[in-house]
Amino acid sequence: MTHFTIMFLVVRQKIVLEISKRRHELFAYTTIPNCPNNTNLIELFNSHFNARLRTPTVSGVVSTPDFNRQHVLVG
């Protein structure tokens, strides 16, 4: 094995061990109720936007299927 390969393996092992040590901290968000489990911000925005289109607004106006079809974002 080359020196580079050995250094790569050592660094990789250190990273994996650090992640393992901090796993409770890194995944603490999973214990929070209703916390998003997705970091894809575009997908989160689109799903929130589409949900808003399907619910009544504060003024009581409900969006129509024609409005939804014309204004749905594509992810």
- pLDDT tens for 2-60 read 988 999 999 999 999 999 999 999 999 889 998 877 777 788 788 878 888 877 665 55
Contact of 39 with 27, CB cutoff 8 Å: no
Report the amino acid identity of residue 41: L
Q: Which of 40, 42, 65, 43 is nearest to 54 (CA)?
A: 65
CB 42 within 8 A of CB 75: yes
Q: pLDDT tier at 75 (50, 70, 90 boundaries)? A: very low
Torsional sign, CA 35, 39, 41, 46 = negative
**DSSP-derived secondary structure letter, 34:** T
Instruction: Quote the pTM value.
Output: 0.44
